[in-house]
Chains A and B, each alone.
Chain A
């Protein structure tokens, strides 16, 4: 892994400056079923292709943002600050 990520604040930086929380998941709304919780905790779509992911610029501006990365090529096509992220209660 040595690709570059265009941080929305800092520009293109080495991936080693960032940490990822993996694909964007939807936290279930209250009260969820047992299955919904299990799926939320343990299941990922794991797509081969463009995937929307959480990234954090740990060794930089310390901001969380959403990046769309092609998991096959590691090309990051889009980054966005989570300002418009759906508010989850």
Chain B
């Protein structure tokens, strides 16, 4: 039996105990309101799917990568016509909704795998960090470029990366804004398996086939035991993000980014 869903920005299919969620929004799966709505529908299906699901693989069909992060153009244009208080209220609402989605993925009773290629930046990196395993092809790159905008990552990335790998790596990525390649990401423990270029999904499927052999109750208990959600830090992250977002420097940086003709506008 197959179950399917197709939204504006993604589609997913359940087959033989494995869900494959495919991110598919041009140009590079930037996360805005449409993606949020599709992801909310996806996690709303968990209660109906979880008893018969062992693994969920999240991957992208977009050529440039897994996900380039939040949709900054939508963020800028949405905030530009509003008062500061109104735009902060909208941002807070968006963050609370995306946190609910990522917390649901983080705590799903099945195993979640991010199969990553190309760019995995900002909000895309935070989506991957909500997953249990990251399998990356050798062309993948990971970054938190948010400080270039005068912000911090807002989708739970800092608490999750700190939980998984510790504060030093968070500081390196956050405070320099640099991207690291897949080999480095594997060396520090972020990436569990390296795949050849274009082979991350195939490796993820092979890993899923192994995981489905294990007892579901033990798997869920193990995950709950070793992967607590850092709720307090996640709430604090939203508060800090919203506090920073009120500053005119942020809108100026967003405007500079969305109107830039610099060949490398992602650089701080």
A and B found bound together: no
Residues on B close to A: CB < 8 A?
none
Residues on A close to B: CB < 8 A?
none
